[in-house]
Structure 1
């Protein structure tokens, strides 16, 4: 499909698409729009960021009449997604007398009732609030011609299955049903089988699902220095607006507190926040009052901010589908994005599983050293100074420094001003290092003691394979191996030793529970 004009849309809808700057349909739009216009039911596999809203929004607005009864209903899992979808409908219906209304919890129901009474053609809402209006008699669905279940897997994960079924029973049997979902667990399949009639399946392949404009990289980091590694990565990147994902609510709070203490513009988002708190955080993020938003997967559902430059997986997600959802938050609206994953030794196998199942190849990068970060920050400050000089209007500051320059070297004055302005940002810091002490290994190596040996049927090849897989280090970094009846010694290159230590200190080899510790130096004779 080369152009939206090939869909033979009405002039008013085509003009709106032109106003939105769309030149050609995305794969999901090219596949879905003709089918929906023909009246067919569609199951689409796509996540936020693939253009799926327009895939159902364009045909719904095209087919909607001016009769002020509800003709289309879109169900979404979150308030944020409902607002986002409603905004998209308003753009598509810009030149057509078709009204859309988002209804969701957290907003005055009186305001929503008044808007419904005035008449709308399209309702976008969360299942709980839609059902509330149905029970109050303020939302009539007997004229609905089209129903969309957007992000169906998320709605079912959030426990909305009974609400969805109750809502669908209030709509006419001859309605047209569209279902969009990033994944297809058994619950989604059962829902589609029960309420859809001979649906057409449209699948966006893995390459398209993982957002082609998003580069994907990973850093192997140590658990104990994970925060320091994150800060170095952020400091070495040009993060205009970034989302950092944590696995737990407690993790979000702790990371926000730690980053605030280090001077970053950051706030957190998780399920324990009230709607008012959530709205405040999202407003600060959208207006760039904060540069970094730390969030859990559940809290981030429905976030739609086009200019997110970076997504950082501080904690890796538990499954590939969540990874795809996360990185879809960047690389939006034709802009370039970067997805960064931090993998501790214990998460390395999970990282490789995500790579295999998504078909994505992540580029391995080394955590920037303090010297790298310092040089990057120095470059930023040099550019700021040059821009200020070229911008002119320095007369007032010349007057302030007049007497000082007479008494002190101008270069020293400039350096002092830079020191004050950077607030210690350019101060030299010491590298933190893992020091195992003397372990009796040869120079450049660290010798480890493992509390099992031949009694656990461990062979050198078993040990090399386990260390390589669990710690993500090449086999050639492993040196001398001595296996005895009840214990083992193994030497590892010093650079890889911290990763081996964290990965294997309490793990299993050949099913046996093992403990790995730095060896004591050999006794001298």
Structure 2
């Protein structure tokens, strides 16, 4: 039975700030760790990704801090700048109300600006090791009175790449301090190494049946290196993710893959260490705001990042260790949401695949490219459903404002057929779509099919083909169009996903008004493209003869063909043919 935050020893101000964010009950790792941190002991904590480890150390640290003191009391070291920014954002929602000043110190940011902020009292620092060492050498940061040191993603922080820098930082801190280690994976060699810097640490490990989160469906697509790019695009088209992260092994492969996706029309961008800090922050901001749909990244995005709405993770390059795999797929299926992780494996990756399966203690579902997974059409997160509902509500209001639901005699019965996405102007001038409807309706149909003992694919087979794949799938719109749409949406106070639908709706309304005024109508051909037809004389056509007077006579013909009169077409007279007259 989980206890409320107030029963864990936190003051009322902190509890109110946490509950104002919609968090009312602590997670298991928070419930077990917060009292131990408040007691002042050293802790090694291990828990799955997306289980709230950040609050497990941030909240008790804030509880123990003294706003009246002017020295640094708490320090959190992170392996990436993005994670440092994320933790600082979490702190900014709570710390100001308690009088606690927080500083984020990471590379790529203006040093002078950080120095100016350090001139005042700073109680809490979130930093990457390199930039913190820079401040320590400058003398702008003093850690001699530090109370609590946290190594977030500790297995990565004590890795050979960071170990020397972390040791340099620890040497600047007092011996009698509290040291906390948090991570989703904690290999034994890291535990042994941590003993050198800790005093009789207590271990907290949340026991689960499997290492990875059970809400993540894990699939392996067996392909080749040459066919991997096509297999990725097929998977994106099949799963239709709301937000997706694609992980590559190197910066160059990430950049090359992003360029290929952009050429194919996907809304993607890249994130890796070769980008400037301003560019990295801009990319993450656009991804969080859903202005781009696919983020192609290296492992710098695999640690601790929490982005709402990430429904899919694609391992374009299989990781060479199980810990990286666990952290990568942990970017989806967070906080009780469902997610899908797809790994592309070439024949030479079999060894790493077996290594991963052994670590996570479960076999992975394997299939060939193009084969449908069991939950390809059914797995969607709650965030996606909520955003879809919001979009529909907004569109309903726009339809009313723009006269979508006009009544009475505006346009007669009519239609036109097409293949995919066929639509016609029905009674009242409203557009009648012949597609399958919205994704939420298809999801409800799939759920109903499962309740009747049918698979979601059997239910989908009973539906007409999809209208388009531009709702939440891989949009084929160009990047400038999507960005312009997002800018227009911000100016109107709407999200970027509402803008394309709303703008298209206005354009369709204007087209219909033109059709009613000039007597034309919209139909769709077999490719789903909308074309106009002249309806001023349905089944009739008008032409001029060059005879005396040059007057115009209309002749009827079946199927909208030109009537053929008895008179000469260009040379003689005017057409006087009747319903089936001929024209020479």
Q: Given the two structures, how large is their TM-score scaled by the length of structure 1?
A: 0.71
The runs of 5 or more residues in structure 2 that have no matched partner are 378-419, 421-435, 437-459, 472-500, 533-584
Using the TM superposition, name which of 145-154 and 223-232 deviates more: 223-232
Contact 1:268/1:295 (CA < 8 Å) preserved in 2? yes
Among 93, 99, 102, the alignment partner of 2:101 is: 99
Q: Distance in 1 between matches of 2:352 and 2:165?
A: 35
Partner of 1:25: 26
Matched ranges for 1:289-438 at <5 A: 289-298=291-300, 300-365=302-367, 367-368=369-370, 378-381=465-468, 394-402=508-516, 406=520, 410=523, 412=525, 415-417=528-530
Q: Distance in 2 between matches of 1:359 and 1:418?
A: 56
Tell me the SS of whatever aligns to 2:279. helix
Task: Using the TM superposition, give the Cα deviation of residue 87 of structure 1 relative to its aligned residue in structure 2, in angstroms.
Answer: 1.5
Partner of 1:218: 220
Task: Using the TM superposition, give the Cα deviation of residue 382 of structure 1 relative to its aligned residue in structure 2, in angstroms.
Answer: 9.1
Q: Distance in 2 between matches of 1:263 and 1:351?
A: 31
CA RMSD of superposed structures (Å): 3.3
Partner of 2:137: 135
Task: Using the TM superposition, give the Cα deviation of residue 411 of structure 1 relative to its aligned residue in structure 2, in angstroms.
Answer: 5.0
Change (3 A) 1:238 1:78: same
Using the TM superposition, name which of 314-323 and 185-194 deviates more: 185-194
Contact 1:232/1:369 (CA < 8 Å) preserved in 2? no
Q: Distance in 1 between matches of 2:469 and 2:309?
A: 26
Task: Using the TM superposition, give the Cα deviation of residue 185 of structure 1 relative to its aligned residue in structure 2, in angstroms.
Answer: 4.6
Higher relative contact order (CA 8 A, sep 6+): 1
Partner of 1:39: 40
Tell me the alpha carbon deviations over residues 280-303 of structure 1, each in whole angstroms, 9 at most, x when there is no partner: 322332222221111122454453
Change (3 A) 1:82 1:341: same
Matched ranges for 1:477-492 at <5 A: none
Change (3 A) 1:409 1:247: closer
Contact 2:153/2:182 (CA < 8 Å) preserved in 1? yes
Tell me the SS of whatever aligns to 1:304. coil
Partner of 1:498: none
Contact 1:75/1:149 (CA < 8 Å) preserved in 2? yes
Tell me the alpha carbon deviations over residues 475-508 of structure 1, each in whole angstroms, 9 at most, x when there is no partner: xxxxxxxxxxxxxxxxxxxxxxxxxxxxxxxxxx
Q: Distance in 1 between matches of 2:168 and 2:189?
A: 16
Task: Using the TM superposition, give the Cα deviation of residue 42 of structure 1 relative to its aligned residue in structure 2, in angstroms.
Answer: 0.1
Q: Distance in 1 between matches of 2:180 and 2:240?
A: 40
Q: Distance in 1 between matches of 2:19 and 2:531?
A: 48
Whose helix proportion is higher, 1 or 2? 1
Partner of 1:75: 77
User: In terms of Rg, which structure is larger?
Assistant: 2
Using the TM superposition, name which of 251-260 and 201-210 deviates more: 201-210
Matched ranges for 1:273-288 at <5 A: 273-288=275-290
Task: Using the TM superposition, give the Cα deviation of residue 121 of structure 1 relative to its aligned residue in structure 2, in angstroms.
Answer: 1.2
Using the TM superposition, name which of 76-85 and 156-165 deviates more: 156-165
Q: Given the two structures, how large is their TM-score scaled by the length of structure 2?
A: 0.64
Partner of 1:166: 168
Q: Distance in 2 between matches of 1:147 and 1:7?
A: 21
Q: Distance in 2 between matches of 1:103 and 1:210?
A: 31
Contact 2:102/2:125 (CA < 8 Å) preserved in 1? yes
Contact 2:108/2:276 (CA < 8 Å) preserved in 1? no
Q: Distance in 1 between matches of 2:228 and 2:469?
A: 29
Tell me the alpha carbon deviations over residues 104-142 of structure 1, each in whole angstroms, 9 at most, x when there is no partner: 111111111221221121111111211221222211212
Tell me the SS of whatever aligns to 2:313. strand
Among 244, 260, 263, the alignment partner of 2:262 is: 260
Tell me the SS of whatever aligns to 2:98. coil
